[in-house]
Each structure stands twice: as C-alpha cells, then as structure tokens.
Amino acid sequence: MPPDFEAEDNKYIKYRKQSDRLTNAIHTAQQNGYVEIISKEMLDQGLPPQFFYLALQESNFDRYASGPMTRSGIAKGMWQFVPQTATKYGLRVGPLTDLRRPDPGDERDQPAKATRAAARYLKDLYTTDAQASGILVMACYNWGEDQVLPLIRSMPPNPRQRNFWQLLARDRDRIPRETYDYVFYIVSAAVIGENPRLFGFDFDNPLEQLNAP
C-alpha cells in the first residue's frame, strides 16, 4: 500500500469513528446471521470474505434498502442491485420495482439469494481487466464496469501498475467522488474490522471465526 494511500485510508478511519454507523451495521449483520451467509458465499466462490464490507457500504446490511430512482432503475436489497443486473444474475425482480418500498416478490430483498448473486457478479468482475486489484473490482461494482474498465485498459499491462491508486493519480478528475468515497469507506471498514477495539470500537472482528481452528 503506497504511503499516500495509507494516509488517505487513515483519514477515512477517522470519519468512521465519528458515527455509530459501522458499529450498528456490524451488530445488524451479526444478529441476522449475515456474517455467516456472506463470508461462506464469498469463500465458496473463491473470493475474499472481506467483501462483507462492500455490503455494509451498500446498505448497512438493510435487506430492504432502496436507492433513489436512476436511469437504471431503483437499486434494492442488501447488495443494491439495479433491475437489469439482478435479472442477469438470476434474481427475480418484483412487481414493485419502480417503488422505493419492500416487495415480497423481489428476490433482491432475500439476503441469501442476493448474496449468491453478488458473489457471482464479483467473481465475474475478477475475470475482467480489473483482476489485478480487488479495489478496482469494488470500483467497478459502484461506478459500473463499463466506466472503469476502459480506464484500466489504457493503463500499463503490469499488474503492479494497475491499481486504484495509480488510476486515481492519472484519472482523478474522471472518477466520481461517490466512487472515491465508496472505495475508501470499504477499505477503512475492513482495516478497522481486523482489530476494532484497537481503533476504539466496541465489537470484535466479525470475520474472526473464519480464522478459528
């Protein structure tokens, strides 16, 4: 991790410490069994279990979360799938797709099924030019691979030179602030999650059970 990237991550760790959002979200995940659901699915797909924190950033683990109306429709569920991507990854979209409310007929609101679809989507992103960096995969998830991949393809082919920090150094003015914040909030949550009490949080590493014998 370059020193500048580490300094930026420390800044977002400080932001995390200014609210109860992280603590409340972790408690929600633990109380509803989402830690096990997400970590198992990611590992089954050969993915880092730390993608657990991507769902946190997307929805605070709120299975009924609904985003604003966009040109791609309303993103729903813990993983905030828009209708087209949900359908592509095997999720049934319900009849209330254009309304910001829970929909019993919409599988985006079902944690296990939506997590399986999200893991498949992330795995597919790893097969693209974003494969050199899990953080680039996260950027694709947020901004869209059609936006991120052309920028990556114009970078040097050496994986060491294909990372999010290098992309920022070259194309910062083209990357939305939302995506910039998104990546650093996820990374900061993952760093805190390794030893929350070291950073002053009142919970233990939610993924620690994965390291247990």
pLDDT score for 213 = 45
Q: Alpha-carbon distance 88 to 208, whole Å?
A: 33
Among 138, 83, 91, residue whose Cα is nearest residue 116: 91
Specify the residue for token string 């760093």: 191
pLDDT single digits (tens) 184-194:
999 999 999 99
What does the DSSP 8-state code read for residue 45? T
Q: Does domain 3-207 have CATH number 3.40.50.300?
A: no
CB 24 within 8 A of CB 206: no
Backbone angles phi, psi at 100, to 5 degrees: -85, 75
pLDDT (tens, 9 = 90+) of the chain, 213 residues, equals: 677 888 999 999 999 999 999 999 999 999 999 999 999 999 999 999 999 999 999 999 999 999 999 999 999 999 999 999 999 999 999 999 999 999 999 999 999 999 999 999 999 999 998 877 889 999 999 999 999 999 989 888 877 777 888 888 889 899 999 999 999 999 999 999 999 999 999 999 999 866 544
pLDDT score for 131 = 78
Say whether 66 sits in a helix, a strand or coil. Answer: strand
Q: Alpha-carbon distance 121 to 157, whole Å?
A: 23
CB 128 within 8 A of CB 149: yes
State the pTM of this model: 0.93
pLDDT score for 1 = 65
The dihedral sign for the CA sequence 61, 34, 137, 17: positive
Strand-pair partners of 86: none
Q: Alpha-carbon distance 96 to 87, whole Å?
A: 15
Q: Alpha-carbon distance 164 to 69, whole Å?
A: 28
Residue 101 corresponds to which tokens in the numbers above? 């409310």
Residue 30 corresponds to which tokens in the numbers above? 């633990």
Task: Give the start-to-end residue ranges of the domains of the chain.
Answer: 3-207
Strand-pair partners of 74: 69
- Write the CA distances from 173 to 111, 167, 168, 170, integer angstroms: 36, 10, 8, 8
